[in-house]
């Protein structure tokens, strides 16, 4: 697979998704697209028109056909600001995992098999696994705004946290300065430094407030969830040069170990999902929308 520049990848994906929507709607997209980008007030074809409601637009036009008939279990208040964009990674996550949950969010066996194949070890047996989208740990000492995870699975004492990427321009960072009023520095001093030292993944020199920490802010916030019973799974697109390179630099710069930290590309995940018993029709539709080469 030839890795294009990020700009070309991002442009190609948007064009593909527009064409995919037009194809699935038999060319009748009037009133569906374009939508408005609030930052500049301009219309863009990869944005759904939400004049009749954001949730309704997403359910009708951004979900896979095999997913849209299922009860919508992603609460409207949890929707990302740009979930009505065709390249929304939140909706991509929902489209992949929703068929593997029943309407009460209990996990089906093929997803358990897939997680086992990824290296997730469930010590418990005969216990139902439950999942959720946009998960936030109910009890944590993390200050202020808590870390949200795109998807989450729990079986007994075992927890699996998911971070989902698609066309994002890398993983999130934070501003660096030494001002004691900097809220990110305050969080580092109060919480992140201790958690980085506790989880055992990071090099000794990594747990310092500096530009390197700030560059990998989101990845660090995810990785510190790891312990003997917890795993973090990061899913990204193999064609996205920025997420691919940033994760590699993160490993080299920050980590002693990748124990319980799993990074996999969507392309490889779909291959494993087929072996694990995911529906062929579901995966064919998912790949046609998100992963087909252009």
Considering the chain, what is the average pLDDT of its residues? 94
Taking only the tens place, the pLDDT of each residue in 258-288 is 999 999 999 999 999 999 999 999 999 999 9
Residue from 246, 245, 244, 283 nearest 264 by CA: 244
Give the pLDDT of residue 212.
Answer: 95
pLDDT reading at 294 higher than 80:
no
Cβ 193 vs Cβ 207: under 8 Å: yes
Q: What is the pLDDT of residue 145?
A: 66
Q: What is the mean pLDDT of residues 193-222?
A: 95
Q: Is the overall model pTM greater than 0.75, yes or no?
A: yes
Q: What confidence score (pLDDT) does residue 39 get?
A: 87
Q: Where are the domains of the chain?
A: 6-290
Is the model's pLDDT at 140 over the cut of 80? no
**DSSP states along 32-73:** TB-EEETTTTEEETTB---TT-HHHHHHHHTS-HHHHTS---
- What are the residues whose beta carbons fall under 8 Å from the beta carbon of 269, sequence distance 6 or more? 96, 114, 235
* Model confidence at 51: pLDDT above 90: yes
Of all residues in the chain, what percent carry a pLDDT higher than 70? Answer: 97
**What is the mean pLDDT of the segment spanning 214-220?**
97
pLDDT of residue 227: 94
Contacts (Cβ under 8 Å, ≥6 apart) of 163: 149, 150, 171, 218, 222, 232, 233, 234, 235
pLDDT tens digit sequence for 79-106: 999 999 999 999 999 999 999 999 999 9
- pLDDT given at position 35: 97
| 152-206 residue pLDDT tens | 999 999 999 999 999 999 999 999 987 767 788 989 999 999 999 999 999 999 9
In Å, how far from its chain's centre is CA 174?
19
pLDDT-derived band at 4, boundaries 50, 70, 90: confident
Give residue 143's pLDDT.
Answer: 67
Q: Reduced to 3 states, what is the DSSP secondary structure of residue 102?
A: coil
Res. 27: pLDDT tops 80: yes
For residue range 124-133, list pLDDT tens digits in order.
777 899 999 9
Can you tell me the mean pLDDT for 223-241? Answer: 97
């Amino acid at each position: 697979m030839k890795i294009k520049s990020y700009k070309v990848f991002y442009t190609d994906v948007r064009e593909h998704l527009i064409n995919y929507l037009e194809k699935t709607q038999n060319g009748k997209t009037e009133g569906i697209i374009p939508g408005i980008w609030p930052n500049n007030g301009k219309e863009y074809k990869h944005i759904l028109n939400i004049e009749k409601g954001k949730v309704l637009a997403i359910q009708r036009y951004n979900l896979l056909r095999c997913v849209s008939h299922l009860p919508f279990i992603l609460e409207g208040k949890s929707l990302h600001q740009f979930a009505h964009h065709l390249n929304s990674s939140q909706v991509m996550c929902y489209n992949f995992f929703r068929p593997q949950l029943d309407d009460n969010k209990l996990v089906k066996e093929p997803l358990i098999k897939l997680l086992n194949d990824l290296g997730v070890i469930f010590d418990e047996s005969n216990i139902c696994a439950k999942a959720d989208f946009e998960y936030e740990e109910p009890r944590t000492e993390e200050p202020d705004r808590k870390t949200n995870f795109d998807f989450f699975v729990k079986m007994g004492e075992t927890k699996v946290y998911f971070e989902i990427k698609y066309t994002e321009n890398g993983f999130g960072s934070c501003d660096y300065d030494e001002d004691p009023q900097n809220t990110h520095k305050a969080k580092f001093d109060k919480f992140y430094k201790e958690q980085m030292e506790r989880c055992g993944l990071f090099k000794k020199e990594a747990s310092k407030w500096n530009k390197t920490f700030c560059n990998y802010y989101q990845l660090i916030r995810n990785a510190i969830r790891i312990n003997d019973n917890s795993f973090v799974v990061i899913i990204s697109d193999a064609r996205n040069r920025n997420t691919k390179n940033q994760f590699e630099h993160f490993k080299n710069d920050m980590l002693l170990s990748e124990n319980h930290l799993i990074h996999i590309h969507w392309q490889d995940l779909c291959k494993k999902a087929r072996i694990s018993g995911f529906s062929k029709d579901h995966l064919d539709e998912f790949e046609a929308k998100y992963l087909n080469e252009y």
